[in-house]
Structure 1
Amino acid sequence: MNIVRTNSENSDFINLVKQLDAYLKITDGDEHAFYNQFNNIDVLKQVVVLYDDTEINSAQVNFPVGCGSIKKFDEISVEVKRMYVSPKNRGTGIAQKILNELEIWAKELGYKKCVLETGKRQIEAVQFYKKCGYKIIPNYGQYTAMENSICFEKEL
């Protein structure tokens, strides 16, 4: 596996986000339009894409299987955004590698904390963030009044 730091113009990132949005459209239901307005990727400058290196007919091929990004939240925090792993690659540690890389990058940029929002209906995501040391916090910003939202933070 190979993880690459890039930005939101990366075509593999764009394609993975399209898959994420299709998934969220189903799980968010009627609330999808509300959440989707906060997910513009053009503002994302720190993006990671994880590739699965596979050999096909003696040639090395890199398949993008997961992604995530961070963006400035406040002076000491970044917000984790657009975390996604393709369904057939879930449960293999890919999400943890992506999140670890994002946390390292945030520290390198001088941030002290990561925050994020996910939906209560994304049960696997909620369990994942708890397993990675994220603590539930009061919903922030645009998510304050959203019953489906659950917000987390982690000190770096």
Structure 2
Amino acid sequence: MGVILETASWDDPVGVRLRREQESEAVECCGADPARDPGPPAADVDLFLLARDAETAVAVGCAGLRRLDETTYEVERVYVTSAWRGRRIGEVLLRALEEAAVRRGATRMRLETGSGRPASVRLYERCGYHRIERFGHYADRERSVCFERTLTASAA
């Protein structure tokens, strides 16, 4: 079983549903507060991808890309449905976002995940991200774990 990636609007109903599932899991495992971090507004998201089962076209994951500054993008809301985990779909989404960021002139990617998400931490470390101090609106969130990766045209 493979996946295909498609570009969608941040407000696409399928993407909204997947992000709500991700938020529910974050509340359950990490004590996240969706009201405190509702995610970026649609206007701030440069790219939003849906991963779909290549055979059935059912959406099985999503991820977004938001510009932080001239050379830095933030990965937003990487999520893969539980039935599809363990197939490296998160990595496929992450690499696609990195390639898009490089095409947009980025040299650095940043992201945040919760300390109660060991699978996410492993994904980011496996993909070459290293831990950094909490940044931006995550700076005062003790349960946040932040990562960064330097991008080159060949690295993405």
Fold-level similarity (TM above 0.5): yes
What residue ranges of structure 1 are gaps of 5+ in the alignment?
A: 55-60
Could you tell me whether the CA contact under 8 Å between 1:115 and 1:153 is conserved in 2?
A: yes
**Secondary structure at 2:52 match in 1:** strand
Q: Is 2:23–2:34's contact at 8 Å kept on the other side of the alignment? A: no
The structural deviation recorded for 1:36 is: 2.5
Alignment partners' CA distance in 2, 1:84 and 1:148: 18
Structure number having the greater helix percentage:
1
> SS where residue 110 of structure 1 aligns?
coil
Q: CA deviation at 1:26?
A: 1.1
SS at match of 2:112: strand
Q: Within 2, Cα distance between the matches of 1:41 and 1:67?
A: 16
Structure 2 partner of 1:152: 147
Q: TM-score, normalised by structure 2?
A: 0.88
The count of corresponding residues between Structure 1 and Structure 2 is 148
Aligned-residue offset at 1:138:
0.9
Partners of 2:40 and 2:72 in 1: CA distance: 19
1:14 to 16, 32, 36: 16
Q: Cα RMSD between the aligned structures? A: 1.5
Give the SS at the match of 1:15.
Answer: helix
8 Å contact kept, 1:5–1:46: yes
- Alignment partners' CA distance in 1, 2:96 and 2:29: 27
For 1:22, the aligned partner's letter is S
Partner of 1:3: 5
Matched, 1:95 2:101: no
CA distance in 2, matches of 1:4, 1:75: 25
Matched, 1:81 2:87: no
CA distance in 1, matches of 2:41, 2:96: 19
Q: Which runs of 5+ in 2 are unaligned?
A: 152-156
Q: Are the equivalent residues in 2 in contact too, given 1:8–1:45 (CA < 8 A)? A: no
Give the alignment of 1:1-150 within 5 angstroms: 1-29=3-31, 31-33=32-34, 35-37=36-38, 39-42=39-42, 43-54=44-55, 61-150=56-145
| Cα deviation, residue 21, structure 1 | 1.2
Once residues 89 and 144 of structure 2 are traced to their aligned partners in structure 1, the CA distance between those partners, rounded to angstroms, is: 24
TM norm structure 1 = 0.88
Q: Is the radius of gyration larger for structure 1 or structure 2?
A: 1
